[in-house]
Amino acid sequence: MTPQFHKINLRSPDFLDMKYNSARKSENGIDSENKYPKTMNSLIQKTKIHCRQLIEHSRCSKLSFHNWQHTVNVVQNVHEIGAAEKIDNSSLELLVIAAYFHDVGHINGAEGHERISCGYATDFLKENGYRQENIEAIQGIIGATVMPQNPNTELQKVICDADLAHLGKTSFWDQNERLRKEWWDYYKKVFSDRQWVELNIRFFECHDFKTQYAKERFGKRKNRNMAQLKDQLKGLISID
């Protein structure tokens, strides 16, 4: 029997975050059409096109959460956090490339997808004559997104926060339902409402943002989201 999920509003915008990001565009030098710093070289565009083709011409195109939109969100978060953390352009290039590739491995399934993503990135970058030391840095950045997160460098901290920034946004609820649906559709993982809320509370309690900017920018909303989860749990317990 197919479990019932809360209806997902695909058009619900995160007004506060849209307003905030819009105000930062001129400051970050980000083009309004594709959200890229105008100084980025052609490899970024080639990476974007390559990863989009991989994702949209595979099982990922049907995933509710780990799809092209999630990748775009993470890339945008990388730009926002990277600018605030004063990441230089050469390092930002590594971050953006890693962000585009970080979930490509879902083409083959969720388990070990980070390692597979590294393989896709390595093959592509070698074909484009990228320096080996930069490839290894990108491998490390992608690898840092393995759960539980344990970043060792500043760049790894940025992508970790970019990947989970939605925990500290009002869009968390939409994204969370998408993940639950994806787990059911493709992995047949079934949770009661109480089990799902308890799982999310444990995840929130074990997670912390790594960069100072993310702590300040997303921390308050994350705490509010967790408080709402705990309120939901109280209601579900009373029903049981």
Convert the pLDDT of each residue in 8-49 to its tens digit. Answer: 343 333 433 443 344 334 333 344 334 445 445 799 999 999
Please report the pLDDT score of residue 209 as a whole number.
98
Please report the pLDDT score of residue 124 as a whole number.
98
Distance CA 126, CA 128 (A): 5
Interval 185-231: pLDDT, tens: 999 999 999 999 999 999 999 999 999 999 999 999 999 999 999 99
Return the exposure string of 80-113: e unless at least 16 CB atoms fall within 10 Å of the residue's CB, then b: bbbbbbebeeebbbbbbbbbbbbbbbbbbeeeeb
Are 27 and 83 contacting, i.e. CB atoms less than 8 angstroms apart?
A: yes
Distance CA 145, CA 147 (A): 6
Q: How confident is the model at residue 82 (pLDDT cuts 50, 70, 90)?
A: very high
**204: phi then psi, degrees, rounded to nearest 5:** -60, -45
Please report the pLDDT score of residue 25 as a whole number.
41
Distance CA 119, CA 233 (A): 40
Q: Where are the alpha helices (DSSP H) in the chain?
A: 15-28, 42-56, 68-84, 89-101, 113-127, 132-143, 154-163, 172-187, 193-206, 212-239
In degrees, to the nearest 5, what angle opens at C-alpha 48 toward C-alphas 34 and 8?
A: 70
**37: phi then psi, degrees, rounded to nearest 5:** -60, 135
Instruction: Please spell the DSSP secondary structure of 122-165, one letter per residue.
Output: HHHHHHTT--HHHHHHHHHHHHTTSSSP---SHHHHHHHHHHTG
CA atoms within 13 A on the CB side of 123: 9
DSSP 8-state class, residue 39 = T
Task: Calculate the average pLDDT of the chain.
Answer: 87
Domains contained in the chain, CATH given = 15-239 (1.10.1300.10)
Please report the pLDDT score of residue 233 as a whole number.
97
User: Is the per-residue pLDDT at 144 higher than 80?
Assistant: yes
